[in-house]
Structure 1
């Protein structure tokens, strides 16, 4: 079995037998307290606390796919031995990793980036440094880190890497927020700051408002004094959903069907900025709500339908349509001060209680099939971010 090296980014890695009988992590549980008691399996290495670097395994368990297709069928757990690190490398232990729509699309072969196969899945997560090479500066054992670049392959328990591939983050964040802060809150932050110069009292409108990005938009906008009109699909638990979004700072929450005749929407200043992650009819509906010279930013297409533009919006309202892709922004600003500045502001919001993790499920890494199933577009009504927890 080959040894794991940093050259294995998007390469084959991979199933260690981890079926030791540990209980699944229930949604809403505290990860630190979950790991503190002796594990039911009796394994000494299972008795650990986040923040104290434990003795690590000599193998890494990884989720790999060798072909594009249905994630539930092509993603397999495999293992690989961990080699000794070189003087200029670090060894990291993944703590948590997200399952994002982009991950699902990548496995299906439908994403803009098509990695070389076989490869490890996962674009986002948080890790703890276990070992630091003797020539590495600026990092220490115990530091929490997140990937600097796209497509690192976070669905694995360990990785050896160049320290430049990671950025340090504070370890006082909740595990769920640390694992999700780079992509979704980053997208929300950039869209709120890069397209229209918003001032206190302004209004923005968005569809897909219960998505992780949508929840971050609501919270960050509220911290700026900006009002949000939030459009969601109708569903059996619509009242509960509306209540949840209002509790994190939404100004108005309406269904697609109620938007046109909403008195709550008409009572607010016309939005100068719209965020579209659905496209199709939903995108056209929020576009019609824009003020003259307003901007609609499209960052997703959940309906799998094109963006349709009412002619009147172009001619008489003079709207502008733009696209945004967080991956492109991150790659362009990988070492730019603007990226660290953005992260520091997000950390500050989190510490002040103004930004929390999206609604989520914490799922044991060994139960990855459940997380993949719930993250599929067909399960969109589920509405919770799936976060894999490396509980072994």
Structure 2
């Protein structure tokens, strides 16, 4: 009788553990609007996978500007409501359905679709909705690989024919994408000229970007005054990357080499990109735009995307591609990230990541 009772107690404990491990927490929205008003922390539960589904435990999820825009309803790709925001993250496969393919329990995976809903502790998704990643890849680094890291990679690869020793100039250089650009330039033996807004801790920021591999870091004011291109201290850049717009973008464009290319992938100043006619005529510069989501949609299962991800995985594993300055926060501290990212004064300084292990 004692043995039977012990087995029953153990069985009940195991059942309780299984049940509690499937208790689920998530950030959800029922309508688009001010993130501070519409984002709600919710509790629930999740079952086991069926058919081609897999059960994932999210480990880390990014909070990107695109996520904020999605919650606001201004991003071009919108989730079905009610829904869970979050485009990026990394998770561990816990269970697989009988018809699931490509992954097994214990594998690390990242989203392979938009509007993945990564701000959720446990997720039931189809196996085709994820991409398997190497088991030894750093979690914080791989968490942002699909947006900022891939954006930096594609802009450097797809718009200008760059060889070792060539130069790239960018504004918003302390952004997550900008820090990836610096490190990829370093890895590929390209020179990078990096423009940032002036701020009280500018020396510390310059030191940080230099430690990542930047060749030159200038404030916007210093860029307007510099003579390093005219006197030959730095080769004129063949490629300019713009995420700011306005006068800053025009100043960056002014320093491009003849037949150079400027790629715009953001507009943080909310001011239009102005292009002097003289640069179009006498320098024959080209103006392009880039949206990583569109590229991924057109190349989701292509060899070029697989090759890109594998190269980035290896750079991360080798320590040559590090995550931008960041803070790991528990899910229930999400308001801290929202407050910082929606601060009109800017200078957030760090990227916020939800760490479901906290």
The normalised TM-score by structure 2 is 0.92
**Secondary structure at 2:234 match in 1:** coil
Provide the aligned C-alpha RMSD in A: 1.7
The equivalent of 1:369 in structure 2 is: 335
Structure 2: distance between partners of 1:165 and 1:224: 31
- Contact conserved, 1:185 with 1:216, CA < 8 A, in 2? yes
Structure 1: distance between partners of 2:322 and 2:272: 32
Assess, with a 3 A threshold, how the Cα gap between structure 1 residues 349 and 135 changes in structure 2: closer, same or farther: same
Report whether the alignment pairs 1:149 with 2:126: no
The equivalent of 1:282 in structure 2 is: 248
Structure 1: distance between partners of 2:278 and 2:349: 34
Assess, with a 3 A threshold, how the Cα gap between structure 1 residues 161 and 379 changes in structure 2: closer, same or farther: farther
**Secondary structure at 2:95 match in 1:** strand
> Which consecutive residues of structure 1, in runs of 5 or more, have no partner in the other structure?
1-43, 48-53
Listed as ranges, the matches of 1:301-312 within 5 Å are 301-312=267-278
1:90 to 54, 71, 75: 54
The equivalent of 2:5 in structure 1 is: none
1:321 offset after TM fit, Å? 0.6
The equivalent of 1:178 in structure 2 is: 142
1:376 offset after TM fit, Å? 2.1
1:264 offset after TM fit, Å? 4.4
| Higher mean displacement: 108-117 or 152-161 | 108-117
Structure with larger Rg: 2
- Contact conserved, 1:132 with 1:141, CA < 8 A, in 2? yes
Structure 1: distance between partners of 2:227 and 2:246: 24
From the two aligned structures, give the one with the greater helix fraction.
Answer: 2
1:263 offset after TM fit, Å? 4.2
Structure 2: distance between partners of 1:201 and 1:227: 6
- Contact conserved, 2:48 with 2:95, CA < 8 A, in 1? no
Listed as ranges, the matches of 1:380-391 within 5 Å are 380-391=346-357
> Which consecutive residues of structure 2, in runs of 5 or more, have no partner in the other structure?
1-13
Report whether the alignment pairs 1:260 with 2:227: no
Structure 1: distance between partners of 2:46 and 2:39: 21
- Contact conserved, 1:88 with 1:136, CA < 8 A, in 2? yes
- Contact conserved, 1:204 with 1:273, CA < 8 A, in 2? yes
Report whether the alignment pairs 1:134 with 2:98: yes
The equivalent of 1:296 in structure 2 is: 262
1:55 offset after TM fit, Å? 8.4
Report whether the alignment pairs 1:109 with 2:109: no
Structure 2: distance between partners of 1:71 and 1:379: 17
| Higher mean displacement: 173-182 or 118-127 | 173-182
**Secondary structure at 1:229 match in 2:** strand
Structure 2: distance between partners of 1:192 and 1:243: 23
Structure 2: distance between partners of 1:306 and 1:216: 25
1:83 offset after TM fit, Å? 2.5
The equivalent of 1:66 in structure 2 is: 30
**Secondary structure at 2:346 match in 1:** helix
1:56 offset after TM fit, Å? 6.5
Structure 2: distance between partners of 1:265 and 1:251: 13
Structure 2: distance between partners of 1:252 and 1:368: 35
1:298 offset after TM fit, Å? 0.4
**Secondary structure at 2:115 match in 1:** coil
1:305 offset after TM fit, Å? 1.1
The normalised TM-score by structure 1 is 0.84
Structure 2: distance between partners of 1:313 and 1:55: 65
Report whether the alignment pairs 1:125 with 2:125: no
